[in-house]
Amino acid sequence: MNIPPPIGLLAELTHRCPLQCPYCSNPIELDRKSGELDTRTWKRVLSEAAALGILQVHLSGGEPTARADLAEIIAHCRLENIYTNLITSGVLLSEKGLRALYDAGLDHVQLSFQDVEVAKADRIGGYKGGHEKKLALAAEVVAIGLLLTVNAVIHRQNIGSTEAFVELAVKLGAKRIEIAHTQYYGWALANRKALMPTHQQALDAVQLLESLRRRYDGIIVIDAVVPDYYARFPKACVGGWGRRVINVSPSGKVLPCHAAETIPGLFFDNVKDKSLEAIWLHSPAFNAYRGTDWMPEPCQSCERKEIDWGGCRCQAMALTGRAENTDPACSLSAFNSQMRAIAGESAMTADSEFRYRRFDG
């Protein structure tokens, strides 16, 4: 098989995070600080990534600014000519800290917001004072001259704020906003009943975003992540397994996507043992669902098989018990009606209590 080089690297620098968002995509089993890769290893991995063809690195976590060596890591990316995107909650970063990242060559900041009002936002994030800190950081990011994206994960408990999120982003001077429906993996899957919107809410949000895009054309770019429990076709998860991106976990495990560890039977290589190139080309985990040969029906004969690549393996695993099944988010999947039923039932539950993301959660 001809394996094209990857384009992006999701570098999960740490699982430590002061926020406790119940929709966090991190695994339930979080890596501890003692197991995190050291600075030298990350620099080697990033040099290997650049040589392999990676153009953009997403510095994520957990909260990446919890690492004291973040500026050094960014400077190394700059040296390797890699574009750096900082995905942050913003609550740990001082003005001085931000300046250090700017001086190191940081390209872009993606700042999360949980809601638009203090009390609601801080409840969802499980961190008192968080919202105010985020507002302050957003202002500093724009003042220093960095491009800002606002990231808003939406779910049943804040979907009514969709328009207000866009207004907030414009007011803060962001040039881009991501309105991302919760993706149900990791902690979000554990909190599905408290987070799932109704079908009507999901439809309304899609329509609203269309009109907001027209209203704010040329002012702010609005990107959306669709609510796949209500979709007709599945998302092309990570742009297709082993096609475009690599995920490195805090402890150095190399994953085709951030939830891949939920698939039993896959073995993940570690950057401590092998080069990134060797892993990308030869790791059985990357080759397990690469391309289209592995696909069963209805994917195998589907004209969309190189558009959505069968959807998401982890979602197929979670909802059908077999990772190689068609993503149940696809209307052609035998499990689609079951998925719709789960969505409907979850959305109708009165339970709005969260199981917060914690190390001992």
* Chain positions contacting other proteins, by CB under 8 A: 5, 7, 51-53, 55-56, 81, 83, 85, 107-108, 110, 145-147, 149, 175-176, 178, 217-218, 221, 223
Dist. CA 298–CA 120, nearest whole Å: 43
261 DSSP 8-state letter: G
Task: Kindly state the smallest distance separating residue 145's Cβ from other proteins, in Å.
Answer: 6
Select 91 or 180, whichever has its Cβ closest to other proteins. Answer: 180
Which C-beta is closer to other proteins: that of 145 or that of 265?
A: 145
Q: Closer to other proteins by CB, 73 or 343: give it.
A: 73
Neighbouring residues of 313: CB distance < 8 A, sequence distance ≥ 6 = 237, 241, 257, 260, 263, 289, 323, 324, 327
Tokens 């009390």 found at: 119
| Residue 35 CB partners (closer than 8 Å, separation 6+) | 250, 251
SS3 content of the chain, % helix, strand, coil (to 5): 40, 15, 45
Which residue, 210 or 223, has its beta carbon nearer to other proteins?
223
Q: Which of 338, 231, 234, 343 is nearest to 295 (CA)?
A: 234
> Residue 255: which of 235, 284, 276, 285 has the closest Cα?
285
Other Cβ atoms within 10 Å of 40 Cβ, number: 9
Nearer to other proteins, 5 or 361 (CB): 5
- In the complex, the smallest distance separating the C-beta of residue 326 from other proteins, rounded to whole angstroms, is 27
In the complex, what is the shortest distance from the CB of residue 46 to other proteins, in angstroms, rounded to a whole number?
A: 15
Contacting residues for 157 by C-beta, under 8 A, at least 6 apart? 120, 124, 194, 195, 352
Closest to other proteins by CB, 44 vs 304, is 44
Q: At closest approach, how far in Å is the CB of 4 from other proteins?
A: 9
As measured in angstroms, the least distance from the Cβ of 186 to other proteins is 21
